[in-house]
Amino acid sequence: MKIWIAHEAGLAHLGVLPDGAEVEVWDGGEFPSDPADVKLLVAGGGGVDEEKLKAMTGLAAVQILSAGAEKWIPIMPEGVALCDNRGAHTETTAEWIQAATLASIRRFDAFARHQAAREWAAGFTGTLTGATALIVGAGSIGESVARRFAAGDVDVVKIARTARPGVGTIEDLPDLLPKADVVVIIVPLTPETEKLVDAAFLARMKDGALLVNAARGRVVDTDALTAEVRTGRIRCALDVTEPEPLPADHELWGLEGALITPHVGGAVDGFIGRVYPPVGDQIRRFAAGEPLANTVVNGY
């Protein structure tokens, strides 16, 4: 059973592999051996395209290292299972959301500019303590953010695709948005969520509120967001943008109310050691003929 993985360093984090597993490293470039023999592909993203996947005529499953599968869905060969790695990035992405929220509300971005200019510019800032946070997307990351916020005396409201105890749905947004000081977006990109955050969504946010996007850039209408942040009525903290990378001449870079990082929510020291142990578990399931974990169905 031939398996290709994206990083040589990942080999040390796969655990005990089943008998007959032959693991090779493929970084998306030149094939290390006959692609027709590959049964399971562990893909890191770079260099993998539809034509290369079609050459893997024996392929049964693709395991990606990211939580978001939207760019993989359109290029998957028919009959090949697609699995994401959603749990591996839960705490690091939640940590970014918490950090970015605090940095924006406490105006660390403005203080950083003053530091670069060697200016002692004291002043009052907002505070997260006692605020209301609306989390749009109550999956594992959203739930982790909720726990972190609640520990800091934040009133947390959650919505998801399906209602459950303590969690509302998208239909509740019009009533909830005007009450939230912070709105966190952490939904997968699907046809239903593309440009979920549009001009009407933003217009319902309360004055002075903060929009935090750690989902995908296309979930937010960038032009509408830019227009609102330009006025100073709301602020934003973004780890993802549309387009991405954000062009150097884009207006958002220079707006005082915008805090932008280059899609690094899950990019932390020890990344390989975080994402490859679940891959090892998946390889063992695959070899045993067991149901695969985190199979993507209808974009989720």
Q: Could you report the per-residue pLDDT of 169-228, keeping only the tens digit for each?
A: 999 999 999 999 999 999 999 999 999 999 999 999 999 999 999 999 999 999 999 999
Decide if pLDDT at 56 tops 90. yes
Which pLDDT does position 298 carry in this prediction? 85
Decide if pLDDT at 45 tops 80. no
Sheet holding 22-25, edge to edge: 22-25, 2-5, 38-43, 61-64, 81-83
* Active-site residue identified among 7, 86, 148, 216: 216
CA 90-71-29 angle, 5° bins: 100
Ordered by where they begin, the domains of the chain are: 2-88+269-288 (3.40.50.720), 89-260 (3.40.50.720)
Q: How far is Cα 281 from Cα 15, in angstroms, rounded to an integer?
A: 8
Which pLDDT does position 300 carry in this prediction? 83
Q: Is there a contact between 167 and 146 (Cβ–Cβ < 8 Å)?
A: no
* Joined tokens for residue 82: 């697609």
Q: What is the dihedral of CA 269, 272, 277, 283, to 10 degrees?
A: 170
Which pLDDT does position 46 carry in this prediction? 84
Q: What is the dihedral of CA 287, 291, 296, 300, to 10 degrees?
A: -150
Mean per-residue pLDDT, 139-145: 97
- Answer whether the bond into residue 35 is a cis peptide, omega within 30°: no
For tokens 């530091």, what's the residue? Answer: 115
Which pLDDT does position 97 carry in this prediction? 99
Mean per-residue pLDDT, 67-88: 95
* Active-site residue identified among 244, 250, 251, 284: 244
Q: How far is Cα 142 from Cα 59, in angstroms, rounded to an integer?
A: 33
Q: How far is Cα 21 from Cα 61, in angstroms, rounded to an integer?
A: 15
Mean per-residue pLDDT, 20-35: 97
Q: Could you report the per-residue pLDDT of 220-276, keeping only the tens digit for each?
A: 999 999 999 999 999 999 999 999 999 999 999 999 999 999 999 999 999 999 999
* Active-site residue identified among 114, 204, 263, 285: 263
Nearest-CA neighbor of 39 among 57, 25, 26?
A: 57
* Joined tokens for residue 263: 């899609």
Left if phi > 0, otherwise alpha if psi is -120 to 50, otherwise beta: which for 270?
left
Identify the three-state secondary structure at position 136. Answer: strand
Decide if pLDDT at 84 tops 90. yes
Q: How far is Cα 233 from Cα 203, in angstroms, rounded to an integer?
A: 10
Does 250 qualify as catalytic in the annotation?
A: no
Does 216 qualify as catalytic in the annotation?
A: yes
For tokens 């060697």, what's the residue? Answer: 118
* Joined tokens for residue 42: 């562990």
Does 263 qualify as catalytic in the annotation?
A: yes
Average pLDDT for the chain = 97
Q: How far is Cα 266 from Cα 282, in angstroms, rounded to an integer?
A: 20
Strands (E), the chain: 2-5, 22-25, 38-43, 61-64, 81-83, 132-136, 155-160, 167-169, 182-185, 210-213, 235-238, 258-260
Q: Could you report the per-residue pLDDT of 95-133, keeping only the tens digit for each?
A: 999 999 999 999 999 999 999 999 999 999 999 999 999
